[in-house]
Amino acid sequence: MDDCYLNISAIQHYSYCPRQFALIHIEQVWEENFFTADGCRLHERVDSNIREHRRGIQFEYSVLLTSRRLLLNGKTDLLEIHDGVPPRYCPVEYKRGKPKLEEWDRIQLCAQVLCVEEMRDVAIEEGYLFYWQTRHRERVEMNNFLREKTINTINAAHKLLNQGITPKPIKDKRRCHACSFLEICQPMCFQNDYSETYLEEIFTDEKIT
């Protein structure tokens, strides 16, 4: 059963680019660049597995998470547990860079929330994304729209993993430019790829003859 589980970070990979997801989790390829190395360096600060209690809040770092329902494993950088009856849980994910308009990071955070809710049998209303570049902490509401989008992304990632097929690149030069897989992915090679049309013409000619 362990082979059926996806890491929570893989959900962010899929939402960013299904081809990137496939290269990492199907083809088992990894390429380091400045962005990935800097992200690892920054996460060293929160990967401490320590606990502390300040001003009515329990801070638990690098908390392991799992969901049997969604077949997810992973961790949250920080889980804040606010004193009360019942206590209030709030996951916090640390990210390099700055806040984004796209949902990639919020989907990853929501996946963490879904795991915590299942593990602790609680309801979570919000989580936070902390961005190192801006030192900004963004509140993320766990509304029905985000939850549905996250579950759909998880299901799509599982489906692609089971199919074992690496899809074509997305058409977004901005994302490709920042991706550590640019040299491996070679998205520019697909821009004028007429192989599919060529094969269709060959088989069409064979049927005619």
Domain boundaries, the chain: 2-169
* Six token digits for residue 66: 């799992």
Q: Are 154 and 6 spatial neighbours (Cβ–Cβ below 8 Å)? A: yes
pLDDT digits (tens, 9 = 90+) for 56-113: 999 999 999 999 999 999 999 999 999 999 999 999 999 988 888 889 999 999 999 9
Which has the closest alpha carbon to 7: 24, 27, 31?
24
Per DSSP, 55 falls in state T
Q: What is the CATH number of domain 2-169?
A: 3.90.320.10
Model-level pTM? 0.79
